[in-house]
Structure 1
Amino acid sequence: MSSPTTSSGKYDVSLGNLSARLDVSRTENEANVAVVEHTLPPQTLAAPLHRHSHEDEISYVLEGEMTVLADEELTTVQAGESVVKGRGVWHTFWNAGDEPLQFLEIIAPGEFSEYFEEVARLGPPDPTDEEWVSQFLAIGERYGFEADLESVPALLEKYDLQM
């Protein structure tokens, strides 16, 4: 369930199993960088394979372990480490561990940080609901975000994950 945006423009929302809390809004700095804090339960895929055309994402793991699949290469990122998911690169990530994953996502430029709040307004992710999928894809298109929803079943099976 998502909570409303605060008067400062900050949000704290849930997108299924992935939570998103805006810590630093892009409007708070001249560099137009945003910082979003995410949490993800154990053994959980965060998103389908996707790519961004406008921004780079830098994930800094606070707790747990993040597995990143980018351009068909797997990387494991431990607490205290970071990984860059550059624009134009097909990628996804998950928590393969037994503990919750908590990480900061530095988004540059930061407009994409507003995506999470918009998607949360759609309600819980439901890939079987054509209207939900249509709205999800339309939001993504506005942000230059392309998702391969058909990648999800294979990722869940291959890496023994839930969504």
Structure 2
Amino acid sequence: MVERRILGPEGGELYQPEGACGDRFLINSGEWGGRFALVEHRLPPKVLAAPVHKHTREDEFSFVLAGSVGARFGDEEVVARPGDLVFKPRDEWHTFWNAGETPARLLEIISPGGLEELFRWLDRLSEELSPQELQQKIGPYGCSADMAATMALVEKHGLVF
């Protein structure tokens, strides 16, 4: 178990690639018996955070801190604003993006934890992966991606991915 501590507003591990979704890792599931993880996503304007995807092992909950966050669940799209909590249950196709012209920030609770390790790997990625290479990497995490749906969403909303 981790000792009591306070993590300041810029604490944790931060990966902020230019013009892409950045992640600040606040609670690592490995320190808490795998029960959950907490990650802050930082999205520049019009940036898509992830391809349309689903995962079979985790539920995700996104609490919007700043900006407007678009989210897609199956064929439904919504926009969440500061103070809104977005539920993303396992086995449901989904993604999210900055739907506004100012930076967006959200806290992502992942339960159980472990998926944050995939985020870390993706954050450090320096080259673009083919859809087959992406599926090979995310498959062991119980994830699937739909690149055709992703590119349609990018085109529809003028997003950066």
> Is TM > 0.5 for Structure 1 vs Structure 2?
yes
TM-score relative to the length of structure 1: 0.83
Aligned residue runs from structure 1 range 82-161, under 5 A: 82-124=85-127, 126-127=128-129, 130=130, 133-161=131-159
> CA offsets per residue over residues 59-82 of structure 1, 9 Å max, x none?
001111111110211121111111
Partner secondary structure for residue 84 of structure 1: strand
Correspondence for 2:63 among 50, 60, 63: 60
User: How many residue pairs align between the two structures?
Assistant: 149
After TM superposition, what 4+ stretches of structure 1 lie above 4 angstroms from structure 2?
none
**Unpaired stretches in structure 2, ≥5 consecutive residues:** 1-11
Q: Per-residue deviation at 1:151?
A: 2.1
| Identical-residue share of aligned pairs (%) | 38
Residue of 24, 28, 38 corresponding to 1:25: 28
8 A contact 1:119–1:139 mirrored in 2 = no
Deviation, 1:14, is 4.1
- The amino acid across from 1:120 in the alignment is D
Aligned residues: CA RMSD: 1.9
Which residue of the partner structure matches residue 11 of structure 1? 13
CA, structure 1 residues 37+53, in 2 after alignment: closer, same or farther (shift >3 Å)? same
Contact in 2 for aligned 1:43/1:161 (Cα 8 Å): yes
Shift of 1:56: 0.4
**What is the CA–CA distance in structure 2 between the aligned matches of 1:28 and 1:146, rounded to whole Å?**
27
Listed one character per residue, the Cα deviations across residues 73-117 of structure 1 (whole Å, up to 9, x for unaligned) are 112111111111000000111111111010110000001011111
Contact 2:48 2:98 in 1 (8 A): yes
Spell out, residue by residue over 1:26-48, the C-alpha distance to the aligned partner (whole angstroms, 9 max, x if none).
Answer: 13335611000110111222222
Equivalent-residue separation in structure 2 for 1:121 and 1:95 (angstroms): 21
Gaps of 5+ in 1: 1-9
What's 2:6 paired with?
none
Partner Cα separation in structure 2 for residue 121 and residue 30 of structure 1 = 25
- SS of equivalent residue, structure 1 residue 98: coil
Q: Separation in 2 of the partners of 1:51 and 1:19? A: 20
Which secondary structure does the structure 1 equivalent of 2:92 belong to? coil
CA positional deviation for 1:11 = 3.2
